[in-house]
């Protein structure tokens, strides 16, 4: 499978264009890093690829087909801040199951404690909560995962643990990963290739 | 007890807050108790006292007849309690129906742009007509009676609550966890019932409570002009309109106590609703 962005253009209201004629291609099974300065539109691009926003110009295609408007989205996005990504009135177990039953192997890999499932989101640390968001995004129908500064709030050890398990799952299921990060060392360690934002936007 | 607490809170700041909280809770409990007593009272009254009793006509208020008796010898206290029960009954049916309409339309507005346009248009259209005018028309068309009044009030009172709910729904719709839910393949209906409704419940509860005073006063008003409850029922509106003829004969108690009690119940709902709103949504209650 191939995730392709063709001639994307986006801007908020009447602000200047964040990007235009933006092309990107991501192959199943590969891990690609995206680096660039702050405030240029990386998160915006991630939202478009995962179907949260519609591009003002251009299209996103999955194997030559437009992205589905309904049903489970094959391109899943993990946000930087997990607190906003969960309903504060739901217990963790329910949040985790929103996209279907998660893989028990994945839960174990991510270091998820069974006891956490009974708690409310406010009773977990940001790092613990983020593991659930990662697990939720890795449902059986996920084909591509976009990690937008996914582990920024984790300490080095947890960061390594989470990435280790995500890479294992990605390899096992042949997923495509797009890693957006400000940490060059992380990107270098994880990715098959790295895209410089500046090189794509003119 | 207070000394004990003063020891627990050596700093000055938290104490007024605790006091305010306790006062709020006291007010909530008292008003709620009064309303429930009035409501249950309507069921518990001794029906024999509602009957005419020509031996005890036109008594002024006394220990035996707290609110006096009328020209047919009916006990005004019993009639008032029964009337308040009826008022609350009508208020309950009408407010809850209004609340249901408001939630349905608020959620409908979240389903799409066109749906939202329609809902917003309906809200504005209904808000632009004065309540009492449309209420009288509706009650007249429905042919009066309890059903007519309830339907009339329910159909005229939903727009302001619907507007609040719609605003809340729109905000929820842009919440990240709701957007994620959609990418997990969940339908609008599923999201509305699982994510939105539980979030809206406190707002809705307060909104419905604050609708009671309007519903009760409107019911009394249209019963008073003869388009509401049947004259055989001791509704407060009926009691007031009947007693008008006797006011000039000095029988002030016929209108005074029922009217006062009605205002007390209405005010209780107002206070209760406002206090609860202060707990649920401090931002809006300060407006
Ligand atoms: N909802 C919005 N409305 C208006 N402007 C927005 C909105 N979201 C983002 N922006 C603006 O668009 C620009 C790009 O934002 P974006 O979050 O995509 O940047 P980014 O590349 O992810 O930055 P960072 O590396 O700091 O995360 C910023 O200038 C931001 O202020
Ligand atoms: Mg960003």
The DSSP code sequence of chain B is -HHHHHHH--SSTHHHHHHHHHHHHHHHHHHHHHHHHHHHHHHHS-GGGGS--GGGTTPPS-SSSTT-B-TT--BHHHHHHHHHHHHHHHHHHHHHHHHHHHHHHHHHHTT-HHHHHHHHHHHHHHHHS-HHHHHHHHHHHHTSHHHHHHHHHHHHHHHHHHHHHHHHHHHHHTSHHHHHHHHBT--HHHHIIIIIHHHHHHHHHHHHHHHHHHHHHHHHHHHHTTSSS-TTS--HHHHHHHHHHHHTTT-THHHHHHHHHHHHHHHHHHHHHHHHHHHH-HHHHT-
How close is the nearest chain B Cα to the Cα of A49, in Å?
A: 12
pLDDT score for B253:
87
Half-sphere exposure of B284 (CA within 13 A, CB side): 14
Give this complex's ipTM: 0.93
Q: Does the structure show a pLDDT above 80 at B189?
A: yes
Structural domain boundaries of chain B? Answer: 19-51+74-280
Inter-chain residue contact B183 with A52, CB threshold 8 Å: yes
Strand partners, A65: A62
Q: Which of B184, B195, B198 sits opposite A99 (nearest CB)?
A: B184
**Closest ligand to Cα A38:** 1
Q: What is the CATH number of the domain that holds A87?
A: 3.40.50.300
Ligand at minimal distance from the CA of A42 is 1
Q: pLDDT tens for residues B103-139?
A: 999 999 988 899 999 999 999 999 888 878 888 888 8
Task: Domain count for chain A, please give it.
Answer: 1
C-alpha distances in angstroms, B92 versus A54, B118, B139, B200, B220?
A: 45, 28, 17, 19, 14
Indicate if the pLDDT at residue B3 is higher than 50.
Answer: no
Residue position matching structure tokens 């809850």: B96
Residues B250-268 have pLDDT tens digits of 788 888 988 999 999 999 9
Tell whether ligand 1 has an atom less than 6 A from the beta carbon of residue A38.
Answer: yes
Token pair, residue A5, equals 């962005």
Q: What is the pLDDT of residue B1?
A: 42
**Topology (CATH level 3) of domain B19-51+74-280:** MetI-like fold (1.10.3720)
For tokens 């309906």, name the residue. Answer: B122
What is the predicted pLDDT for the residue at B114? 94
> Is A12 near ligand 1, meaning CB less than 6 Å away?
yes
Q: Band of the pLDDT at B15, cuts 50, 70, 90?
A: low
A165 touching chain B per CB within 8 A: no
Say how many Å lie between the CA of residue B243 and the centre of ligand 2. 72
Question: Can you tell me the mean pLDDT for B149-173?
Answer: 92
User: What residue numbers bound the domain in which A12 lies?
Assistant: 2-200
From the CB of A11, is ligand 1 less than 6 Å away? no
Which residue of A42, A50, A54 sits with most ligand 1 atoms within 8 Å of its CB, as the best mutation to test the pocket? A42
The segment with the largest mean pLDDT, out of B61-65, B86-90, B169-173, B252-256, is B169-173
Q: Which residues of chain A have pLDDT under 70?
A: 202
B280: pLDDT strictly greater than 90: no
pLDDT tens-digit readout, B98-113: 999 999 999 999 888 9
What's the A20 CA to ligand 2 centre distance in angstroms? Answer: 18
């Amino acid at each position: 499978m191939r995730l392709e962005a063709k001639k994307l253009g986006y801007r908020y209201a009447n602000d200047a264009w964040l990007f235009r004629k933006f092309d990107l291609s991501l192959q199943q099974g590969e891990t690609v890093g995206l680096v660039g300065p702050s405030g240029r539109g990386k998160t915006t691009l991630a939202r478009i690829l995962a179907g949260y926003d519609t591009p003002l110009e251009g299209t996103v295609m999955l194997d030559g087909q437009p992205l589905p408007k309904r049903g489970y989205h094959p391109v899943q996005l993990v946000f930087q801040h997990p607190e906003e990504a969960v309903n504060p009135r739901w217990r963790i177990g329910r949040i985790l199951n929103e996209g279907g039953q998660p893989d028990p192997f994945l839960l174990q890999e991510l270091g998820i404690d069974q006891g956490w499932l009974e708690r409310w989101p406010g009773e977990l640390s940001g790092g613990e909560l983020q593991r659930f968001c990662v697990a939720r995004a890795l449902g059986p129908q996920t084909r591509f995962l976009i990690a937008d500064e996914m582990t920024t709030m984790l300490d080095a050890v947890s960061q390594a643990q989470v990435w280790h398990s995500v890479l294992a799952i990605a390899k096992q299921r042949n997923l495509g990963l797009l890693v957006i990060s400000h940490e060059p060392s992380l990107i270098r360690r994880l990715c098959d290739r790295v895209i410089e934002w500046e090189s794509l936007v003119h | 007890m207070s000394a004990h607490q003063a020891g627990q809170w050596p700093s000055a700041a938290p104490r007024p807050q605790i006091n305010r909280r306790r006062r709020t809770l006291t007010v909530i409990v008292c008003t709620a108790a009064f309303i429930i007593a009035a409501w249950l009272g309507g069921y518990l009254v001794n029906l024999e006292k509602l009957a005419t009793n020509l031996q005890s006509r036109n008594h002024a208020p006394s220990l035996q007849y707290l609110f006096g008796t009328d020209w047919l010898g009916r006990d005004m206290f019993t009639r008032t309690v029964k009337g308040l029960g009826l008022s609350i009954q009508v208020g309950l049916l009408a407010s809850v129906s209004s609340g249901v309409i408001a939630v349905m339309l608020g959620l409908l507005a979240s389903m799409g742009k066109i749906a939202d346009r329609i809902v917003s248009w309906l809200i504005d259209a209904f808000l632009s007509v004065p309540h009492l005018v449309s209420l009288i028309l509706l009650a007249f068309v429905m042919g009066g009676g309890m059903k007519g009044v309830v339907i009339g009030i329910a159909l005229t009172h939903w727009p302001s609550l619907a507007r609040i709910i719609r605003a809340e729904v729109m905000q929820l719709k842009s919440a990240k966890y709701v957007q994620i839910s959609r990418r997990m393949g969940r339908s609008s209906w599923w999201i509305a019932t699982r994510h939105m409704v539980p979030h809206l419940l406190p707002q809705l509860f307060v909104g419905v409570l604050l609708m009671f005073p309007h519903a009760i006063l409107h019911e009394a008003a249209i019963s008073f002009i003869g388009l509401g409850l049947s004259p055989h029922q001791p509704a407060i509106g009926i009691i007031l309109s009947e007693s008008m003829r006797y006011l000039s004969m000095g029988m002030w108690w016929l209108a005074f106590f029922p009217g006062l009690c009605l205002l007390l119940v209405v005010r209780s709902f107002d206070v209760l609703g406002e206090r609860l709103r202060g707990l649920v949504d401090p931002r809006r209650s300060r407006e």
